[in-house]
Amino acid sequence: MTTCIHAGGGKLRYRLIDCKGQVQGCRKISSLSSVTSYRCSQKELSWSCGVSKFLNIQRCSFSQSPIGENWRIIRTVTSSCLRDGSTKYFDFAVIGSGVAGLRYALEVAKHGSVAVITKAEPHESNTNYAQGGVSAVLCPSDSVESHMHDTIVAGAHLCDEDTVRVVCTEGPDRIKELIAMGASFDHGEDGNLHLAREGGHSHRRIVHAADMTGREIERALLAAVHKDPNIFVFEHHFAIDLLTCQDGSDTVCLGVDTLNTETLEVTRFISKVTLLASGGAGHMYPSTTNPKVATGDGMAMAHRAQAVISNMEFVQFHPTALADEGLPVKLSKTRENAFLVTEAVRGDGGILYNLAMERFMPLYDERAELAPRDVVARSIDDQLKKRNEKYVLLDISHRPREKVLSHFPTIAAECLRHGLDITRQPIPVVPAAHYMCGGVRAGLQGETNVRGLYVAGEVACTGLHGANRLASNSLLEALVFARRAVQPSIEHMKSSALDFSASNWWPRPVVPRSLGSNTADKILMLTWEVRKEMQAVMRKYVGIVRSTIRLKTAERKIGELEAKWEEYLFQHGWEPTMVGLEACEMRNLFCCAKLVVSSALARQESRGLHYTSDFPHLEESKRLPTIIFPSSPVQSTWSSRQLHKQPIC
């Protein structure tokens, strides 16, 4: 069958990966999928138009076989969310406590009870580490069309135009809502919001709170959540698997199983609506700007629950993470996550040099330091390889001292702690894994192909970012889609009823207390070793510059590592229904790594963040999102299937 395309207008053809194992013009993608295509109407070609209907066209016949320090308050469960032993019942379950999850929770709480389920403390999210800001058209000389153009160019023309228009149009109102909630952003001498400029942007449009924007947004949202009597926050609850069932050809989400990582008790949440806002998967790599909670849990859970995944090959490496090796005073221990040096430093005039103090960015792109992130990261990577050096230098010392300190106080303080004064000396920087442009495929209202499951934030793939995210568009996307998911969620909630017997439909996950401490310690030790090995494979073979042979090597090595790990677990008494934080994180990292490698092998061109030396050029005929349909769980590994058999609704 032929694939149709609408010439222009941002409508995209689709690169489809399903469970049937049929190949049309593209290599087979391991056990996950294969590439196929089919006829569709011109209207259905839009990413955002009726995504649920679109995703239902090709269904598989699935087998039924196997921030504050003071934010410590968890509201007592009341009659609005009935409790039955280790099961809790809510109208809405929100997985994640970043900007997307909290903003959504505040809106839906006006219509029912809300559980916010967070892996660590509520403030520990990618949002809290976002330095740069939120992009929005707030200046008279700027325009929605200009913001759209910058987004689409940065995304290597793989963005969905409908999605881009919605986000760029609605962004200013979302900023005003944050301000009304009490978020405090920097203002200029004229009393108006101070707007910064970052790489890839043609105008100043970045709203910021010095270099701590994410932290300020998180603070304001958490303060509002704390005051809302309908929102109940469950911290240190690790989401294990979504609870899904089959209703005819539809997969339906009815909640989530969680592990309380402090008490080691399993808690089941039954909900009418579930929002997945769990962030990214930066810890697939050894060096990442993401907090330690970013292990791809949401993407992996959604994939196992039959959700459609898209564009996982596009892993954004931030060009400028602090290179600890170049600091005068060395760290006493390795950081859990790399320290980010915001894009705004380059937007404010920062210049990149190699260690010979040669400026190199003009050699790679006419936009120099203001080129999009993918270009800058590849340029730095090329310099490091050619010169056999471990980092480059980012110099902002030529700017007025008071402006540097007022705009970048967090970066200045962190560097000064290690003997470096950024007002006098250049900053050592190196690329680090930063953001997943792919994720769970969503429509314009955050809907997925799984009924009752919505997504927002980094876990989602909405079509906004295309092949590369424009700086400061991530918080914007999270705000816009969290808000857009509200109305359909409310409608779904009102048309649904909580079935109190549903809690018994799935077997309960089991904490492996029966293994004994000696065996548990051995499993934990091996899991950490395997995790480091997998991260090393991803860094070496699935980094900024790729090739087919390197990707196939990664595919083989990851498969061998996973088989070795699972074999050890099961030989030592581990059962498929057993859960532990480290083992479940490893399970999710394997799942996401395989999705990234499979998607990268399918894209036989270089576009945006995906650069392969075997196909170094961009090809218009391949301007297709990569779509992964789930495969049958029968022969899949532990990381790729749910702990329980999927019941009939």
pTM: 0.87
Check pLDDT > 90 for residue 432.
yes
* Count of Cβ atoms closer than 10 Å to residue 436 Cβ: 30
pLDDT score for 39: 26
Check pLDDT > 60 for residue 24.
no
Residue-wise pLDDT tens digits, 599-620: 999 999 999 999 999 999 999 9
User: In this structure, which amino acid lies at residue 458?
Assistant: E
**What average pLDDT score do residues 44-57 get?**
39
pLDDT band at 422 (very low <50, low <70, confident <90, very high): very high
pLDDT higher at 124 or 447:
447
Residue-wise pLDDT tens digits, 516-558: 889 999 999 999 999 999 999 999 999 999 999 999 999 999 9
Catalytic status, residue 13: no
Check pLDDT > 60 for residue 240.
yes
**What average pLDDT score do residues 5-16 get?**
33
pLDDT score for 645: 80
pLDDT higher at 15 or 609:
609
Check pLDDT > 80 for residue 387.
yes
Active-site option among 373, 531, 603, 607: 373
> Which among 52, 66, 442 is positioned nearest to 251, based on CA atoms?
52
pLDDT score for 497: 85
389 contacts: CB under 8 Å, gap ≥ 6: 354, 355, 383
Average pLDDT, the chain: 86
Q: What angle do CA 544, 545, 550 make, to 5 degrees?
A: 115
284-295 burial, b if ≥16 CB within 10 A, otherwise e?
Answer: bbbbbbbbebbb
Residue-wise pLDDT tens digits, 190-226: 999 999 998 899 999 999 998 788 889 999 999 999 9
CA 541 to each of CA 28, 538, 593: distance values in angstroms, whole numbers, following the listed order: 19, 5, 11
Query: How would you class 31 by CB atoms within 10 Å of its CB: exposed for 0-12, middle for 13-18, buried for 19 or more?
Result: middle
pLDDT band at 128 (very low <50, low <70, confident <90, very high): low
pLDDT score for 28: 31
Q: How far apart are CA 429 and CA 593, in angstroms?
A: 25
Residue-wise pLDDT tens digits, 53-69: 333 333 333 233 333 33
Determine the length of the chain.
649
> Which among 207, 338, 270 is positioned nearest to 77, based on CA atoms?
270
Chain-centroid distance, C-alpha 287: 16
Check pLDDT > 90 for residue 285.
yes
State the helix-helix crossing angle for 99-108 and 474-484, rounded to 10 degrees.
20
pLDDT score for 397: 97
DSSP 492-523: HHHT----TTGGGSSPPPB--GGG-HHHHHHH
pLDDT score for 124: 62
pLDDT score for 457: 97
Check pLDDT > 80 for residue 74.
no
* Poorest-pLDDT segment among 46-60, 314-328, 388-402, 609-623: 46-60
pLDDT higher at 83 or 110:
110
